[in-house]
Chain A
Amino acid sequence: MNEETPVLRVSRLGKSFGETCVLSDVSFSLPAASTLSVIGPSGCGKSTLLSLVAGLSRPSEGEITFPRDCRTAFIMQDYGLFPWKSIRDNLALPLQLQGVGRAARHEKALAMLKELGLEGLEMRFPMQLSGGQRQRVAIGRALISRPDLLLMDEPFAALDAITREHLQNLLLDLWQRRRMSFILVTHNVAEAVFLGRYIMVMGQSPASKRLWLENPCFGNASCRNSDEYFSLIRQVRGALEENSRERLREARS
């Protein structure tokens, strides 16, 4: 297995719920230590794609393969933290489920809190934290078992613009240090471009791959002001607008 071996290969993936087809003929490969942003209109099957990759549901067609030894972790939109567990115990839960001893998992949880800038909050409960802090804990919980592939379903959707930007920077920073791969499902064009080495724009009804872009300015936190960044945003927005126009035409006919 060499560096070129992808971490994930998706071929001709389809998913139907009864008669309704929500995902059709999606194929792509994600190289190791790389990131993919999936963007598309609401209800286009982005989250379905993610839950299929996470193994939370089974595909109706096609297949998902992990050519490398791959450990995945999932971050949900509403953080998925357990309100009855302290921040430290929420963070350490994946390790506890794997049978890691108390002292070792607490030590790792505290180190993770430090990395996330949440020192001193270990004995608090999730409801005592702000939305941004909770999402940091959710990111920490996903990263604590050192996953090879991180799956995120609109993780920053409920946050204000500034917190959102801080967390985008944190995620990029964590990626640069850990080099895990990640797939980010979002409906925010700027976020998709900032965090995606690759950007996949999905079409609608049933959702399929509409556009696949490579992002040359990915990995640079200061790229938000570059021309390439804006050009990519224009391209993604153009594809999304074309989606809307098609839907409108279909609705009229």
Chain B
Amino acid sequence: MKILDILLRYVVAFLAILLLWEAGALALGPYLLPEPVDVLHAWWQAMAGPDMPGHIRSSAVRVFSAMLLAFVTAFPLGILLGCRKRIDRYLSPMVFLTYPLPKIVLLPVFLTLFGLGDMPKILLIALTCGYQILVVTRDGIRRLDARYFEAFRTLGGTPAQLVRHVLVPAALPSAMTALKVSSGTAVAVLFMAESFATQKGLGFLIMDAWGRGDQLEMFCGILSMSLLGLAVYESCHIAEKIFCRWKKLEIRR
């Protein structure tokens, strides 16, 4: 019943967006904003061909592997900075000085350093998301109630067991929230990164169609990009539900 309820709410929201879109298309005309029915029809046909699924696959591989890379690097590092004050003292200033830098400006540098393949794109997205995960995880550990450390000490666990049984589960909810929040940024950076020096990916598809003045194809690309963004966000949401079930219960109270 709960799944049906969620599905129903998504369908209603989708219909509302379509209505707004339709109103906009009528006001602006089909060249500036094609009608949703035409875009959906064209998108459905494009999905049957080889090109669109290929572009979606390329973009999806880049964004998912970048977010995974961001998480497996930034989460342990955040825990380390959060629980080791001495390391934090030296590394934190570096993190906070580079945190406000918009990572997307490094795109040319990354393209020069790592070539034209997937690597620079993945690294750029990972860097953007990784910072948020790192900062939030570090703060989560630093704010962790001292009684959990004390309770664990009374049980006689080793430092490695402390990481496994206390630090990782305690920091996971805030890190998962950071991952979810950064998913929007990840797709935006993906779009920018795919606008240059590639012929595969939704960013390329959108910019290429725009250059050719093919509004319908451009909007098909935008629709695919939106669906990819939704898939990334929902994947983070599902992962959060699986790994942080206790936190959801706590919030509901």
A residues lining the B interface (CB < 8 Å): 54, 56, 73-74, 76, 78, 80-85, 93-94, 96-97, 125, 127-128, 141
Contact pick for A73, options B147, B154, B172, B247, CB 8 Å: B154
Could you give 22 example pairs across A and B, Cβ below 8 Å?
A56-B150, A74-B154, A76-B150, A76-B151, A76-B154, A80-B147, A82-B148, A83-B250, A84-B172, A84-B244, A85-B169, A85-B246, A93-B155, A94-B155, A97-B155, A97-B157, A125-B246, A127-B249, A127-B250, A127-B253, A128-B249, A141-B155
Query: Please, which residues of chain B bring their CB within 8 A of the CB of A125?
Result: 245-246, 249
| CB-based contact A80/B165 at 8 Å | no
Contact pick for A56, options B154, B165, B246, B253, CB 8 Å: B154
Contact pick for A80, options B151, B170, B250, CB 8 Å: B151
Taken together as a complex, chains A and B put the C-alpha atoms of A130 and B245 apart, in Å, by 19
Nearest CB of chain B from residue A33's CB, rounded to whole Å: 22
9 closest residue pairs by CB, A with B: A80-B151, A74-B154, A84-B169, A125-B246, A97-B157, A84-B246, A94-B155, A127-B250, A83-B246
Nearest CB of chain B from residue A83's CB, rounded to whole Å: 6
Q: Is B85 an interface residue (CB 8 A)?
A: no
Taken together as a complex, chains A and B put the C-alpha atoms of A125 and B154 apart, in Å, by 21
B residues lining the A interface (CB < 8 Å): 147-148, 150-151, 153-158, 161, 165-166, 169-170, 172, 244-247, 249-250, 253
Query: Please, which residues of chain A bring their CB within 8 A of the CB of B169?
Result: 82, 84-85
Query: Please, which residues of chain A bring their CB within 8 A of the CB of B172?
Result: 84
Taken together as a complex, chains A and B put the C-alpha atoms of A56 and B151 apart, in Å, by 10
Question: Please, which residue of chain A has its CB at the minimum distance from the CB of B166?
Answer: A82
| CB-based contact B165/A93 at 8 Å | yes
Taken together as a complex, chains A and B put the C-alpha atoms of A82 and B156 apart, in Å, by 15
Nearest CB of chain A from residue B246's CB, rounded to whole Å: 5
Query: Please, which residues of chain B bring their CB within 8 A of the CB of A94?
Result: 155-156
Taken together as a complex, chains A and B put the C-alpha atoms of A247 and B156 apart, in Å, by 38
Taken together as a complex, chains A and B put the C-alpha atoms of A83 and B245 apart, in Å, by 10
Interface core residue of A84, A94, A96, A127 (most chain B CB under 10 Å): A84
Taken together as a complex, chains A and B put the C-alpha atoms of A56 and B250 apart, in Å, by 30
| CB-based contact A97/B147 at 8 Å | no
Taken together as a complex, chains A and B put the C-alpha atoms of A54 and B155 apart, in Å, by 10
| CB-based contact A56/B155 at 8 Å | no
Nearest CB of chain B from residue A104's CB, rounded to whole Å: 18
| CB-based contact B150/A80 at 8 Å | yes
Query: Please, which residues of chain A bring their CB within 8 A of the CB of B150?
Result: 56, 76, 80
Query: Please, which residues of chain A bring their CB within 8 A of the CB of B246?
Result: 83-85, 125, 127
Question: Please, which residue of chain B has its CB at the minimum distance from the CB of A81?
Answer: B151
Nearest CB of chain B from residue A110's CB, rounded to whole Å: 19
Taken together as a complex, chains A and B put the C-alpha atoms of A85 and B161 apart, in Å, by 14
Taken together as a complex, chains A and B put the C-alpha atoms of A85 and B253 apart, in Å, by 17
Query: Please, which residues of chain B bring their CB within 8 A of the CB of A128?
Result: 249
Taken together as a complex, chains A and B put the C-alpha atoms of A97 and B150 apart, in Å, by 15
Query: Please, which residues of chain B bring their CB within 8 A of the CB of A127?
Result: 246, 249-250, 253
Taken together as a complex, chains A and B put the C-alpha atoms of A84 and B168 apart, in Å, by 10
Contacts A56-B150, A73-B154, A85-B169; A97 near B249 (Cβ below 8 A): no
Contact pick for A76, options B147, B161, B245, B249, CB 8 Å: B147
Other than the given A54-B154, A93-B155, 11 more pairs (CB < 8 A) read: A76-B147, A82-B151, A84-B169, A84-B170, A84-B246, A85-B246, A94-B155, A96-B165, A97-B158, A97-B165, A127-B246
Nearest CB of chain B from residue A34's CB, rounded to whole Å: 22
Question: Please, which residue of chain B has its CB at the minimum distance from the CB of A89?
Answer: B165
Question: Please, which residue of chain B has its CB at the minimum distance from the CB of A124?
Answer: B249
Question: Please, which residue of chain B has its CB at the minimum distance from the CB of A75?
Answer: B154
Nearest CB of chain B from residue A126's CB, rounded to whole Å: 8
Nearest CB of chain A from residue B211's CB, rounded to whole Å: 51
Taken together as a complex, chains A and B put the C-alpha atoms of A73 and B209 apart, in Å, by 69
Taken together as a complex, chains A and B put the C-alpha atoms of A141 and B165 apart, in Å, by 15
Query: Please, which residues of chain A bring their CB within 8 A of the CB of B245?
Result: 125
Nearest CB of chain A from residue B137's CB, rounded to whole Å: 15
Taken together as a complex, chains A and B put the C-alpha atoms of A93 and B153 apart, in Å, by 12
Nearest CB of chain B from residue A109's CB, rounded to whole Å: 14
| CB-based contact B165/A78 at 8 Å | no
Query: Please, which residues of chain B bring their CB within 8 A of the CB of A73?
Result: 154
| CB-based contact B153/A56 at 8 Å | yes
Taken together as a complex, chains A and B put the C-alpha atoms of A15 and B169 apart, in Å, by 35
Question: Please, which residue of chain A has its CB at the minimum distance from the CB of B245?
Answer: A125
Taken together as a complex, chains A and B put the C-alpha atoms of A80 and B172 apart, in Å, by 19
Nearest CB of chain B from residue A153's CB, rounded to whole Å: 10
